Structure 1
Amino acid sequence: MEKTKIMLAGFLLVLLVVPQISATPLFKFKKFSLRNFECKKYDLNQDGKVDYSDLIFMRLEIARFDQNSDRQVDINDYKIISLNRGASPAESNSDVNRDGRIDNSDLIEFRRTIPRYDFVKSSKGFNFEKILVDREDFNFLRERISKCN
């Protein structure tokens, strides 16, 4: 009986004290939405927003990997980097990771980075041999700026 009274008194104390404490949440959760999750992949420069700076970032990345100056990045650019392995960075712009050497690490950088910008083709199933980052992807990203803000 004594235990029951103590438990009841403790329960009443909790009822009286907790409402005042619970006014300040212990945890704050960011509002999650599928749209925010979807838009995150278009924030290429990772500054927390999808805007024109992401378009500029994409242009710079395309220029860095575009080996044959055709204003797009595809398997031909990958093959050029592969052929230039061992060459001096002064002779070619194939040192895409800018470590002073043209080697397998540049090919790895290409394979790791370029698929992130292939928005249009990758939605139809990714195939590295058919990768193509071009004006179509740039325009796709431009459309996402208004939809993600």
Structure 2
Amino acid sequence: MTSVTDSDVQQMLFCMYTVLAGNSILMYDHMATLPEEIVFIWRRPKALSAILFLLNRYVALLSNICGLVMDFVPVSSESCLKYALYRQLAILLQTAIVCIIMTIRIYALYDCSKRLLAWMGIVIVALAGLACARLVIFQATWKSCQELAAMKHFQKR
């Protein structure tokens, strides 16, 4: 197992607190805009764009909360590996939602061109295939999970 230095722990803590600050701003934004969201999204008939907006908003929020929990609790290598898989799947889902939203917007901007929609569909399928291939090859995360567990163990001493 690799040895962990004080500098490694300081860098890890800096990253964790930076992520915490960013997530705090995100959660504040969610709370600050909730009244408008209720009026303009929740109380109206649900169009596909509204459903995708809500999915994008809350899948990101939930995955970020899970990420914060994993960052600030002691974690074994096994649970870290499970979290790494979950995180990759959450990122894949969020990316797919954003791609669909952007596809709908571009389709509307280009006067509902079926030809453009077909090309965007081909690109999306190709990118989804690459993303899934990347997900299958994520086993390199195993080593980084062991290092993370070692750093968290070192931090508690």
Instruction: Pick the TM interval, shorter chain.
Output: under 0.3
TM-score after normalising by structure 1: 0.25
The structure, 1 or 2, with the larger RCO (C-alpha pairs under 8 Å, 6+ apart) is 2
TM-score after normalising by structure 2: 0.24
Task: Give 1 or 2: higher helix fraction.
Answer: 2
User: Which of 1 and 2 has greater Rg?
Assistant: 1
